[in-house]
A and B are shown apart, each in its own frame.
Chain A
Amino acid sequence: MATQHSRTAARLMLAPAVILLLGWMLVPLTMTLLFSFKQYLPMRGGDLGWVGFDNYIRFVGSSAFWPSVVTTLVIVGSVLVITIVLGVLLALLLDQPMWGQGVVRILVIAPFFVMPTVSALVWKNMFMDPVNGLFAHLWKFFGATPISWLSEASMTSIIMIVSWQWLPFATLILLTAIQSLDSEQLEAAEMDGAPPLSRFGHIILPHLGRAIAIVVLIQTIFLLGVFAEIFVTTQGSFGTRTLTYLIFQRVLESQNVGLGSAGGVYAIILANILAIFLMRIVGKNLDR
């Protein structure tokens, strides 16, 4: 039983983390919020006063806005579908008895540890380059004309790179979830003559529901912020400008801080809506 004394000590131990995180969150957030209501051009006159909701209207009204939303949704959606479908299949495969399971697991997980700039550049140059890339060699071998991946199939390329980075994460979490499945239940179903497909549909998939939800939410949060992969490949051209990249360009490249900040507020609201769902799941887990 905690005494009054130890409770006070505990509060003091908690305080630095709470105060620092609060500052880290509130100070920049307040600044972004303030800037978003201002005409603020650091290179061209600086702070030019309050403009109300102008930036919010202009950000949404610009011709770049809706395409960037579509691009963002396509990237997030495609990567989610690819990583979860392949992740479930891979997790099922890795769960089977085999020789060298540990080594295979390591091979599958490895891409997750590769820094984003390295994986983007390796894919861009050594695989997707239309002259010297491995894909070009492969296409020529089959008598096809090599594709200039990052300009002709820019979205496909980005989705491939990002999926490769995130497939290990989905696989690892789904595998962990599958391994926690009670194998007796599966054996019982097998003995009762349930075919593999219905064992999967009725026992494994429902069991994976929560893990899939977590993968979706966590990946969505990270995928909305995909940056380095675009920064070192297309720089946002060829229709790969995501919302994150658009805001980055407004703020740092064209130095229109007011407009960019309004975009930032939109991004924060979007992330928060998703965050609420994730918190529900994680919060429920805390009560157990």
Chain B
Amino acid sequence: MARAVTPRRKAVNTALAWAVGLLIFFPILWTILTSFKTEATAIADPPVWLFFDWTLENYAVVQERSDYSRFLWNSIIIAGGSTLLGLIIAIPAAWSMAFVPSRFTKDILLWMLSTKMLPAVGVLYPIYLIFIQFGLLDTRIGLTVVIMFINLPIIVWMLYTYFKEIPGEILEAARMDGATLREEILYVLTPMAIPGIASTVLLNVILAWNEAFWTLNLTAAKAAPLTAFIASYSSPEGLFYAKLSAASTMAIAPILILGWFSQKQLVRGLTFGAVK
């Protein structure tokens, strides 16, 4: 039941919340606005807010000079590939623990979670060495595998908590009605599992897309995804705010959109099901 409030109080809440929300969002908004300015307008003092000659020039320049689409493609392959690979390994595991639990299930789950807490820097050199040995340095496949491993515990956990919510009685009922195992999986389980799998994919793509420790340390020119591409702007020449903004906007736009769809799942995924 909603608590009754006076319109006045609601108006105050609204004004306050919008002010705070816009303040927090402001750096992103400012980046998007700046990406449509010329370099000269971008550093104008006092700052120009909305009334300037909007231009798409920066986007063209970023693509032309630094081959933006290649980095974008690397990001897509690495985020998508690591998610797909993770799912292939995690779905059977989560399925097995959710539907045929043993007395070790809880320990296995907690142990998986503990691997997530291994500080990356603690194993940086071994991974680096292994990458050199196997010629994986600056390759997409190497990075895809590493990021898959980083996120695998989260994928297993999320899937586990979703599968756990599928009532076993429904499966039994289907079996009673004479469904074969194939039919049971195809027509009963899969439709119920799809929302959970979709949320898991969403969160994992976001995490993989934004991962910045391994991408910065294990890639150079060839396999660098957008996180590493943007880092190359840390030592720029000349005026570059508008171009930095354009590159940044392109790098974050896909994930901002995905992220807004996945707010609820985000809580669940990042707290390992402890907060839902």
A99 smallest CB distance to B (angstroms): 5
Evaluate whether A114 and B28 lie within 8 angstroms (CB atoms) in the complex, with A16-B89, A279-B114, A282-B113 already known: yes
Interface residues on A, range: 35 or more
Nearest CB on B from A30, distance (A):
8
B14 CB–A CB distance under 8 Å: yes
Q: What is the bound-complex CA distance between A126 and B230, given in angstroms?
A: 14
**What sequence of 0s and 1s flags, for each residue 75-115 of chain A, a beta carbon within 8 Å of any chain B beta carbon?**
00000000000000010011011111101111111111111
Q: Could you tell me the distance between the alpha carbons of A232 and B227 in the complex, rounded to whole angstroms? A: 11
Q: Are A285 and B273 in contact, with the CB atoms below 8 A? A: yes
Chain B interface, DSSP helix/strand/loop, else mixed: helix
Residues of chain B within 8 A of A121, CB atoms compared: 230-231, 233-234, 244, 248
Closest-CB distance, A60 to chain B (whole angstroms): 16
B222: interface (CB < 8 Å)? no
Which among B46, B114, B121, B156 is the interface contact of A17 at CB below 8 angstroms? Answer: B156
Is B127 a contact partner of A28 (Cβ separation < 8 A)?
Answer: yes
CB of B244 within 8 A of CB of A272, answer no
**Range of interface residues on chain B?**
35 or more
Contact: B216 with A231, CB < 8 Å?
yes
Residues B96 and A14 in contact, CB atoms below 8 Å apart? yes
In the complex, what distance in Å separates the CA atom of A20 from the CA atom of B112? 11
Stretch at the interface among B55-63, B102-110, B134-142, B190-198: B102-110
**Complex: how many Å from CA A65 to CA B5?**
55
- Which residues of A have CB within 8 Å of B22? 107
Contact indicator A214/B274 (Cβ below 8 Å): yes
The docked-state distance in angstroms from the alpha carbon of A225 to that of B150 is 13
Interface pair B93/A7, CB less than 8 Å apart: no
Question: Judging by beta carbons under 8 Å apart, are B125 and A261 in contact?
Answer: yes
A18 to B28, CA, bound (A): 40
Check B213–A228 contact: CB distance below 8 A. yes
Q: A118-B251, A134-B30, A247-B124 are known contacts. Are A173 and B267 too (CB-CB below 8 A)?
A: yes
Q: Which of B1-43 contact A (CB under 8 A)?
A: 1-3, 5, 10, 13-14, 16-18, 20-22, 24-25, 27-28, 30-31, 34, 43
Q: Are the CB atoms of A141 and B89 closer together than 8 Å? A: no
Which 4 pairs, one residue from A and one from B, show the smallest C-beta to C-beta distance? A13-B92, A264-B122, A17-B93, A10-B100
Jot down 17 A-B pairs with beta carbons below 8 A, ordered by A.
A10-B96, A21-B149, A28-B126, A106-B260, A107-B21, A108-B20, A110-B28, A113-B258, A114-B252, A117-B228, A117-B231, A121-B231, A126-B31, A132-B45, A140-B45, A227-B213, A232-B234
